[in-house]
Structure 1
Amino acid sequence: MSHFTVLVAVTADSPEEAETAVSEALRPFDASLEVEELTDEDGETYWRNPQAHWDWWTIGGSWRGTFQARIDAKTDDIMVPEPRSANEDAYLRPFAVDGGRAGMLRLQAQRDRASNAALEDWDRYAKVIDGTPQHEPWSTFAGLVKDGGGTNQYTWDDARRDYHNQPRIKGLRESQEYRRWLLDAPEDEIEGRSRDEYAARKREQAIPGWALLTLEGEWWEMGKIGWFATSDRTDDSEAVYLTKANAYIDALDPDTWLVLVDCHI
């Protein structure tokens, strides 16, 4: 099971119409649709949707209030986050919204915030790793694990132990600065990128989300996502997606709605 963000572009005259349009735009990608009949190796037939990307979704969800509306935005221009029992008391920035007309969202300001935060995070990372030797990547230890074998086999537990016992990784895990990182490890996010490169990447990531559903009904994504947040995303596939998605977003008519959706698969 995985959650990920999808930015949906739709045309509408009100928040209510935008929500309906989002539902219609997402429908072709419903995993429950019976589009194609297949037969497995045991002769059993089943149906599937070859372009399935979600089994349920909600607007905002875990990413509610991601966007910030312009101060002059009217109620018909924006989608105000719905309160949820799990986090209805969670702090939201002033004018935080789940979407709105592109011209009424402070997209450039959001990119600026992401870039500035990345510069600060890169500086914190450099401070934490200062004086520690370069670590071996996880792939080095994973490559030592072999299926089968005898009692002296190098196991996944061995790989995890040895990876995390490296001075740099151990220091990162023990640092107060990085205990808040729940998913992507800081060394995977920051290592190997210059300060400016890291800020530029975070700026590019600020708006598009994991995937973009265009007005034309095309689903663009940085990688195919699977269970437990696994994916086939690469640095190259992400860079190509972000360049394409940001250019598309910036070229939209200001009246086009952009709505952030929390998708589950």
Structure 2
Amino acid sequence: MSHFTVAVFTKEGQTIEELLAPYQENNMGDCPKEYLAFNDVEEEYRKQFESDTRKEFYCNSNSSWGQEVGEDTFATLKEHSIGDAFNIAIKKSIGLSYFKKDYTYKCYYNKTNKYPEEHIWLKVTDILWTNHPDKDVCFEGMIRVKLIEEPKEISLKEYYNNDFELFIKEWAGYKEKDLETGKYGYWENPNAKWDWFQVGGRWSGLLKIKEKATSGVTGTRSWTNEAANIPEDKVDSAKVKDIDFSLDIKKYNDNLRFWELIVDGDTPRNSEEETIIKRNFNKPDYYSNRYENKEQFAKLSSEFGTYAVITPDGQWHSKGDMGWWGASSETDEEAKQWNKSFKETFIDNADPEWTLTVVDCHI
């Protein structure tokens, strides 16, 4: 997941919802159909069906190591051969391990924390006695088992009896063909940029309005800043003509000091500066590669700017493509050009009557 800012410029009669709609991900199935394209997966899965293999069956234990049993139980299993059927007692000492009727397990006993060297495969054919409310489940009691051979690697075609329809339903999870296309696949937005958004959100109060402004509204806060003290002259949406885009001198000076601490490596003067260093997760060259010098960093970081912009013509502009965990695709040079030209490109050329809304987008 990632959060990022989007500045949405709207003309009179437009809404931010209609401008954001063409870039909605279809993760909840509610993206408008006009923005979707069908992704046909049938050819891809047919190739897999023809060439790939799988195990005949798998261990039903939740652990990749298998099903742990006690030393006495494992010794009993080792006394028997493939095909033997017999009863074994299940004790509480096994821990959280349990057995279920008709399930298959690879069992092991382990004296160390290393992956067990020896496994014995069995199938539970019956639960003879159990203290569990579900009579097909045994945490403690008596079960009947049959020792079986270790599963072999077989082709997908063999496992699914050459039935592609069964394979794509059970293996790939496509229960039925798409009604509109008659094919297996899913609908997605090839231009998807976000899956949900809120006005303001983590960036509540990013816009400062002028003293005599006649517009300006706030959106909703994120849980991350719901207790923050946001001044009355800070809003999330206002007409361009009512927004004060002048340089924030305090923020400018703070950013100068930030550069000195992080990039120049100055010694912190107090606990607040020590906290700044601890909370910074970027290396010094992250900043030096994206800004020409300390003064440019301080200036551009103190001016209004967002990760992406939507203009009234519906076009999406951004420095890169946002991925998970805040990882964005832009190069240092692309980021540098975006930061340098943001004000000239989007603010200076904006119609004063347009409304600018800051949106917290998630992907």
Tell me the TM-score normalised to structure 1 length: 0.70
Distance 1:84 1:118, change over 3 A: closer
- Tell me the CA shift for residue 207 of structure 1: 2.1
Distance 1:62 1:49, change over 3 A: same
The match for 2:362 is 264
The amino acid across from 1:207 in the alignment is F
The match for 2:293 is 194
- Tell me the CA shift for residue 107 of structure 1: 1.0
Looking at structure 2, the residues matched to 114 and 251 of structure 1 have their Cα atoms a distance apart, in angstroms, of: 25
5+ residue gaps, structure 1, are 131-173
- Which one of the candidate residues 38, 42, 45 is aligned to 2:45? 42
| 1:116 maps onto 2:117 in alignment | no
Looking at structure 1, the residues matched to 343 and 195 of structure 2 have their Cα atoms a distance apart, in angstroms, of: 26
SS at match of 2:187: strand
Alpha carbons 1:9, 1:259 under 8 Å: kept: yes
The amino acid across from 2:262 in the alignment is Y
Looking at structure 2, the residues matched to 223 and 78 of structure 1 have their Cα atoms a distance apart, in angstroms, of: 29
Distance 1:63 1:250, change over 3 A: same
Alpha carbons 2:204, 2:218 under 8 Å: kept: no
The match for 2:317 is 220
Alpha carbons 1:37, 1:48 under 8 Å: kept: yes
Looking at structure 2, the residues matched to 91 and 188 of structure 1 have their Cα atoms a distance apart, in angstroms, of: 33
SS at match of 1:261: strand
The match for 1:240 is 337
SS at match of 1:23: helix
Alpha carbons 2:263, 2:285 under 8 Å: kept: no
Looking at structure 1, the residues matched to 357 and 283 of structure 2 have their Cα atoms a distance apart, in angstroms, of: 29
**CA RMSD, 1 decimal:** 2.6
5+ residue gaps, structure 2, are 47-183, 268-272
The amino acid across from 1:22 in the alignment is I
- Which one of the candidate residues 63, 66, 70 is aligned to 2:203? 63
Looking at structure 2, the residues matched to 99 and 257 of structure 1 have their Cα atoms a distance apart, in angstroms, of: 7
The match for 2:124 is none
- Tell me the CA shift for residue 73 of structure 1: 1.3
Within-5 A mapping of 1:122-133 = 122-125=259-262, 128-129=265-266
Alpha carbons 1:212, 1:245 under 8 Å: kept: no
Alpha carbons 1:11, 1:255 under 8 Å: kept: yes
Looking at structure 2, the residues matched to 126 and 225 of structure 1 have their Cα atoms a distance apart, in angstroms, of: 25
SS at match of 1:93: coil
Distance 1:9 1:129, change over 3 A: same
Looking at structure 2, the residues matched to 78 and 10 of structure 1 have their Cα atoms a distance apart, in angstroms, of: 14
Matched pairs, number: 209
77-86 or 58-67, larger mean C-alpha shift? 77-86
- Tell me the CA shift for residue 177 of structure 1: 3.0
Looking at structure 2, the residues matched to 234 and 85 of structure 1 have their Cα atoms a distance apart, in angstroms, of: 31
The match for 1:251 is 349
- Tell me the CA shift for residue 239 of structure 1: 2.7
Alpha carbons 2:205, 2:236 under 8 Å: kept: yes
Tell me the TM-score normalised to structure 2 length: 0.52
Question: After superposition, what is the alpha-carbon deviation per residue over 1:225-246, rounded to whole angstroms, capped at 9, x for unaligned?
Answer: 1111112111221233334542
Distance 1:56 1:83, change over 3 A: closer
- Which one of the candidate residues 24, 44, 53 is aligned to 2:18? 24
The match for 2:230 is 92
Stretches of 4+ moved more than 4 A in 1?
A: 83-86
| Structure possessing the higher relative contact order (Cα contacts under 8 Å, 6 or more residues apart) | 1
Within-5 A mapping of 1:68-87 = 68-74=208-214, 77-82=215-220, 87=225
The amino acid across from 2:40 in the alignment is T
The amino acid across from 2:313 in the alignment is E
Distance 1:6 1:109, change over 3 A: same
Looking at structure 2, the residues matched to 83 and 185 of structure 1 have their Cα atoms a distance apart, in angstroms, of: 26
